[in-house]
Amino acid sequence: MDEKNQVRQFIYSNSSISTENGQHLYYIKTSKWPSSRPDVALHFGSNKNSPTVAVCDFGKWSGDKIALGDPGKTGLKWAPFERHSTFSPEYQWSFNVPGVGQQTFSWKRTHSEGIDGHKPSGFSSGNYKMVETRTKRVIAVYNNGGGVFSGRSKKFQINVNYGRDFDSLVLLTGCAMLEKARRNASRGAAAGAAGGGAAGGAAGGGGFVPYQSLTVGIPRETFPNERRVAITPQNVALLLKKGFSRVLIESGAGAEAQFTDEAYRKAGAIIVERDVVWSQSDILLKVRAPSIEDGTKNEVNLMRNGATIISFLYPAQNKPVVEALAGRGITSFAMDKIPRISRAQVFDALRIVDDQFNGQYCWIPPSKVLVIGAGVAGLSAIGAARRNGAIVRAFDTRPAAREQVQSLGAEFIEVDLEEDGSGQGGYAKEMSKEFIEAEMKLFMEQCREVDIVITTALIPGRPAPKLITKEMVHAMKPGSVIVDLAAEAGGNCEATVPGELAIYDGVKVIGYTDLPSRLPTQSSTLYSNNITKFLLSLADKDKGFNVDLNDEVTRGAIVSFNGEILPPPPPPTPPPTPTAGTVQAQAKEVKAVEVTPWQKATRQVATVTAGMGSALALGKLTGPAFMGNMFTFGLAGLVGYRAVWGVVPALHSPLMSVTNAISGMVGIGGLFVMGGGYLPTTIPEALGALSVLLAFVNVSGGFVITKRMLDMFKRPTDPPEYPWLYAIPGVIFGGGYIAAASTGSISGLASQLTARRGNILGILGVSSGFLASLLAVGFSPATLVQFGAVAGLGGLLGAVIGRRITPTGLPQTVAALHSVVGLAAVLTSIGSVMAEIAHVSTLHMVTAYLGVLIGGVTFTGSIVAFLKLAGRMKSTPTILPGRHVINSSLLGANIATMSAFVTMAPGAPVIAATCLGANTVLSFLKGYTTTAAIGGADMPVVITVLNAYSGFALVAEGFMLDNPLLTTVGSLIGCVAMNRSLTNVLFGGIAPIQASKKIEGEVVTTSVDETVDALASAENVIIVVGYGMAVAKAQYAISEITKMLRSKGVNVRFAIHPVAGRMPGQCNVLLAEASVPYDIVLEMDEINDDFNDTDVTLVIGANDTVNPIALEPDSPISGMPVLQAWKSKEVIVMKRGMSSGYADVPNPMFYMDNTKMLFGDAKSSCDAIKSALESRK
């Protein structure tokens, strides 16, 4: 616990301290004094004639003025200064706080005409309105004229000498008038509203009350067998961080739930006795409703008038409690009345508590189970019973529950009558007499069959309905069980005894009302989250408590307000009644879109007929081989899409590498063109050999890189693996194993546990593919030697590249390998046509032409991506004048040459070579113009798209060679992660920066020591890494920093943007290389909501991915999702300088008030931080 909390705890634990002058010292905390609520009085002396002076220590001035309020409006009656002569010049109190030391407080009287040269004016006799001062932590109150001070202005000065910067410290001595002053003040502020609490003032018409003026209290639960507590230490800390003045916890409140007083103290709470919690809290948080028993157990009477309470109230069953609360002007909220809407799910304690028992209660052997009420509790019971093999039937009056019940594998039973039991707020309503009679008949039939009945039916505002009669219980088999989860509201079974386990005719009826309290720690934690979030939702943008009756959730949960019991909230407002003209127009519109069953059926038949007719015509025009390949392509595309979509973002880099390696199967096409013996004898044979060489560079390099990356994710605790065993299925199944292994390779990357196995499957698939193709071609021994030579050379080159590449150079290497695939596709397609030009088919020519086109775009596009990623070309978009016209012209030229090629090339090698050459040049140009126009920020997306292009080149070869093995796996994950469409990336680019856009603010620098202080004193730290970490090779130092901070109890996590670095998943690979546990490395969607509760966010080498300008609609990177690091309490950014990021867009976060810049090399800075942390061990 820090010194501030130690002092605060000591004073509250010793509520009165004798001093040398016979006075009593009391302590009140407030950090702001709203002019509408002077709630603290300083009272010297011990009798009613002693003077009372209002006093407040602001910590921060509002300008140069302190507004004390007008006593005539606030209702606070100031006592006269009649006994001034009895005051000594100075009073002083001292006491020792354990662990902090001696603390001294003093009061003295001085004479002056003003403060800092400002003479007070405008004061009428006996009133104290305004004081001007520039002296911090000196509070002065004037009395001008009248009484003993007539003729001169006098100043009473309170000096608070405590040596520590306690932002809001106020002394109170002889506090006999405190409560009266608070009550009178708040009555005036509420302008007629009942009550005197600050929260009550806000609720009663006083409006917004800042959190720093509010005290939250949590008393110990006194309800029999209730072991829960309303709030946990974790949420105590959250409330204090949000700005609440203090949190008072009754001593021992959390003992039954395993939360000690010391745990609450460490979280910043103040442990006090029972009466203090009830009397000094503005807002009380409870589990059960307050008691109204006679005597000291009456908790409602202990509360301050006008306070606020939030708890389970069940107002329909506890009307006396609600009336007592309203009589005291207390604002009350019922957790059990929170509407069941999407926004309120995080507050819905009933829903959360019911969910808690899913899998913990209702464990049953296989049996027949009837669940009555398919709400949250009912659905949880269904799920638990189904997992244990039970036959489950469920009943609910709401038709909407049918689908939920059936989705869990249970049978939905219903009565013959049609009646909707859906009520307001997601609950059920009371049903008609006829329906109930039919319902009872159904239940009797079920009770004769089932072994277990679980009832959960509740109707808001009414006792639980009786659904299981004693006759039904009697009809059940001996040993059967009824679990009545509505027992606390009276029970759904007539044989239920609330709070007990009853046995009726051999049937056990469980009516426990304390099921949540049987797991008090878990229940308290869940309930604490609910009630804390609900309390924080009762706020406005200024972070203050405010009751807004126009808010749907607030209005649904509030029970008493402003001294009155509020009626249930009205039903949702129906849409406005349309005018006659609107009704007619709508009727016409509905009639126009209405489809009869005949029309629906005929349209479906027409669609199927058109599809089958197209397939028939395509088959007639092409042949069975083409159609087989077409069906293979369609199926493989669907399988590949689902496989790629399931890959976690952390493994996108291995995904790019393994799919790139699989794309190396484009070399199989070159294999079919090879020939000539030991050396090629013709140009097509040479092109085929070169294609195989390039393909094996790609295959070998891709798989080696993938294995190296995946090995970085391997943990020492992972079980041993036996990859050599996978050669067995490769040998046995041969070619038939290829397609499955290639798809399995990609699917294996769906998780860390299966990723390395997926890489092995990919190697098996590609190896088997080449082997099967070799057997199909039937090469001569000499040609086999040629193949072995080029394949071996290519494989060796690829392996060398794969072993030498570092994770930092991974993106540009993958781009370079993509270009190899593209060039191989071009060479294979040209060689295949030229080798058979005399009798080449039209389909062969079309697919070969497309192979050249796609391969050429992939080749030059990948080269441009490589140059940009390697820093050898500017990352800014290269926008050619009229680029869209240029691209359209290039495409038109492609179409023209294709037409000439298809019609004139057969039997004419020169024309074929000319058309294919022109197509190659045009595709090369198109690849450059398209990729160069894309900015650096979109290069991760470009890599993904080019990877897909290489796959489509593979498809073209498959059609060209009538080989169903050569199919594609495409990926659009990068575009989805960037929240930008593929069309926008390829043809839109980055919007120009608006010259008029100016970033305001100043850059604040920090040092390594200050950074270490911030990290060491934080509770929650998020580290955001980017490509700068890769360049500086700082991941190892970052890993050590993480270990040291976590050993000190700091919650350290990493936030990774889907395209952080130069390639999706690159930063994940770098952190895995440094042995950072991947379970603390979270994706953007998993961690973005946690920045608000983060003490320090450390940004290392990231820029565009944390740029708030992306949220502005007119910004250059508008629409790109970003990590919202600026929402943290403190942001520390490591950068070499103030240069823009890869997208060349300025970052306003660097100029924000909560951001500090730590300039320098990331590795040097991280090493310095690591050394400083080590020295503090």
Question: Three-class SS string for 1047-1082?
Answer: HCCCEEEEEECCCCCCCCCHHHHHHHHCCCCHHHEE
Backbone phi and psi for residue 1131, each to the nearest 5 degrees, phi listed first: -125, 130
Which is higher by pLDDT, 1131 or 728? 1131
Which residue from 434, 426, 746 is spatially nearest to 571, judged by alpha carbons? 426
635 or 801: which carries more pLDDT confidence?
A: 801
Look at 158 and 632; give whichever has higher pLDDT: 632
Query: Do 391 and 409 touch, CB atoms closer than 8 A?
Result: no
Mean pLDDT of 917-944: 76
To the nearest whole percent, how much of the chain has pLDDT over 70? 55
Lowest mean pLDDT among 62-76, 205-219, 901-915, 1024-1038: 62-76
pLDDT at 416: 78
For residues 228 and 238, give the distance between their C-alpha atoms in angstroms, rounded to a whole number.
Answer: 19
**When comparing pLDDT for 561 and 967, which is higher?**
561
Read out DSSP for 950-989? HHHHHHHHHHHTT-TT-------HHHHHTT--HHIIIII-
> What pTM did the predictor assign?
0.39
pLDDT tens digits along 1118-1140 = 667 788 898 888 899 988 776 65
How far apart are alpha carbons 1169 and 154 in whole angstroms?
55
CA distance 675 to 779: 8
- Which of 190, 160, 154 minimizes the C-alpha distance to 58? 160
**Sheet containing strand 452-455, strands side by side:** 411-412, 391-395, 368-372, 452-455, 481-484, 507-510, 501-504
List, in order, residues 6 or more apart from 1131 with CB less than 8 Å away. Answer: 1096, 1097, 1099, 1125, 1149, 1152, 1154, 1155, 1156
Instruction: Report, as an integer, the average pLDDT of 1035-1053.
Output: 87
Give all strands (DSSP E) within 183-340, no chain letters. Answer: 209-210, 215-218, 246-250, 270-272, 283-285, 308-311, 331-334
Contact 186, 331 (CB under 8 A): no
Cα–Cα distance between 265 and 1077 in angstroms, integer?
32
Q: Each residue of 449-475: pLDDT tens digit?
A: 899 999 988 776 678 888 999 999 999
Contact by Cβ (8 Å): 408, 383:
yes
Pairing label, strands 52-54, 65-67: unpaired
Instruction: Read off the tokens for 580.
Output: 């006659």
Neighbours of 731 (CB within 10 A): 11
Closest to 1006 measured CA to CA, from 836, 1131, 854? 1131
Which range has highest mean pLDDT (776-780, 951-955, 1153-1157)?
A: 1153-1157
Q: Which two tokens stand for residue 42?
A: 């300083």
DSSP annotation of 357 reads T
Three-state DSSP at 24 gives strand
pLDDT(478) > 70: yes
Q: Tell me, what's the pLDDT at 310?
A: 93
Q: Is the pLDDT of residue 76 over 70?
A: no
* Range of lowest pLDDT (78-82, 499-503, 595-599, 741-745): 78-82
pLDDT of res. 1146: 79
Alpha-carbon gap, residue 286 to 535, rounded angstroms: 12
Amino acid at the residue 636: A
The answer, yes or no, to whether residue 508 has pLDDT greater than 60, is yes
Task: Kindly indicate the confidence band of residue 564, based on its pLDDT and cuts at 50, 70 and 90.
Answer: confident
Averaged pLDDT, 244-265: 90
The share of the chain scoring above pLDDT 90, in percent, equals 8
pLDDT digits (tens, 9 = 90+) for 145-202: 322 222 233 333 333 333 333 222 333 322 222 333 333 333 333 333 333 455 555 5
Please tell me whether residue 113 adopts helix, strand or coil conformation: coil
Our measurement of the distance from residue 453's CA atom to the centroid of its chain's CA atoms, rounded to an integer in Å, reads 38
> Band of the pLDDT at 251, cuts 50, 70, 90?
very high
When mean pLDDT is compared over 207-221, 361-375, 682-696, the highest value belongs to 207-221
Measured CA to CA, the distance from residue 74 to residue 474 in angstroms comes to: 68
Residue 1108 has, within 13 A of its CA and on its CB side, a CA count of 11
Give the phi and the psi of residue 358 in degrees, each rounded to 5.
-65, 110
pLDDT in tens, 292-326: 887 667 888 888 888 899 998 888 888 889 888 98
pLDDT at res. 623: 63
* Phi-psi category of residue 69: left, alpha or beta, with phi > 0 → left and psi -120 to 50 → alpha: left
In the predicted model, is pLDDT for residue 544 greater than 90?
A: no
Residue 841 dihedral angles phi and psi, to the nearest 5°: -85, 165
Maximum mean pLDDT: which of 97-111, 621-635, 854-868:
854-868
pLDDT band with cut points at 50, 70 and 90 for residue 494 = very high
767's enclosing H/E stretch is helix 755-777
pLDDT of 311 reads: 92
Please count the residues of the chain: 1177
Q: What is the pLDDT at residue 786?
A: 78
- The per-residue pLDDT for 450 is 92
End-to-end CA distance of the chain, in Å? 19
Confidence of residue 738 (pLDDT cuts 50, 70, 90): very low
Task: Please tell me which residue in 27, 264, 849, 1027 is annotated as part of the active site.
Answer: 1027
- The pLDDT, as a whole number, for residue 1082 is 84
Q: Which residues contact 947 (CB under 8 A, 6 or more apart)?
A: 656, 659, 660, 663, 818, 971
Residue 557 has pLDDT above 70, yes or no: yes
pLDDT of residue 512 exceeding 80: yes
Q: Which of 283-287, 559-563, 610-614 has the lowest mean pLDDT?
A: 610-614
Task: Please say whether the beta carbons of 1085 and 1095 come within 8 A.
Answer: no
Q: What is the pLDDT, as a whole number, of residue 207? A: 55
- Tell me how far apart the 2 most distant CA atoms of the chain are, in Å: 125
Strand ranges inside 982-1050, DSSP E: 1020-1025
pLDDT of residue 356: 46
Averaged pLDDT score across all residues of the chain: 67
Q: What is the pLDDT of residues 392-419, one digit of tens each?
A: 999 988 877 888 888 788 889 988 777 7
Report the pLDDT averaged over residues 1006-1015: 85
For this structure, is 1142 an active site residue?
yes
Q: Which pLDDT band holds residue 805 (cuts at 50, 70, 90)?
A: low
The two three-digit tokens of residue 711, written as one number: 């090995």
> What domains sit in the chain, N to C, each tagged with a CATH number?
3-190 (no CATH), 198-346+521-565 (3.40.50.720), 358-481+492-514 (3.40.50.720), 630-988 (no CATH), 1008-1175 (3.40.50.1220)
Q: What is d(CA 630, CA 611) in angstroms, rounded to the nearest whole number? A: 14
Q: Please, what is the angle between helix 939-960 and helix 624-645, to 10°?
A: 160
Task: Grade residue 252 by pLDDT with cuts at 50, 70 and 90.
Answer: very high
642 labelled catalytic: no
Pairwise CA distance, residues 1116 & 1142, whole Å? 12
What is the pLDDT confidence band of residue 8, given thresholds at 50, 70 and 90? very low
Q: Report the pLDDT averaged over residues 440-447.
A: 91
Residue 520 vs residue 616, higher pLDDT: 520
Q: What pLDDT is stored for residue 778 in this prediction? A: 63
Helices (H), 540-596: 552-557, 580-593
- What pLDDT is attached to residue 355? 47
pLDDT above 90: residue 729: no
**Cβ atoms of residues 18 and 24 within 8 Å:** yes
Long-range contacts of 1138-1141 (CB under 8 A, 24+ apart): 1138/1003, 1140/1103, 1141/937, 1141/1102, 1141/1103, 1141/1104, 1141/1107
Contact 906, 837 (CB under 8 A): yes
Tell me how far apart the alpha carbons of residues 467 and 490 are, in angstroms, rounded to a whole number: 12
Q: 3-class SS at 1121?
A: coil
* Higher per-residue confidence, 456 vs 135: 456
Q: What pLDDT is attached to residue 93? A: 41
Beta bridge pairs of residue 1158: 1134
135 compared with 1045, residue with greater pLDDT: 1045
The confidence band for 774, taking pLDDT boundaries of 50, 70 and 90, is low
Question: Is residue 164 among the annotated active site residues?
Answer: no
**What is the predicted pLDDT for the residue at 943?**
65
Q: What is the pLDDT of residue 182?
A: 33
Answer for the pair 783, 692: CB distance below 8 angstroms, yes or no: no
Residue 302 CB neighbour total at 10 angstroms: 18
What is the rounded CA–CA span in Å between residue 556 and residue 338?
A: 6
pLDDT beyond 50 at 1154: yes
3-state secondary structure at position 412: strand
Phi, psi for residue 632 in degrees, rounded to 5: -65, -40
Q: Given pLDDT bands bounded at 50, 70 and 90, which one contains residue 1022?
A: very high
Task: State the average pLDDT over residues 838-866.
Answer: 80
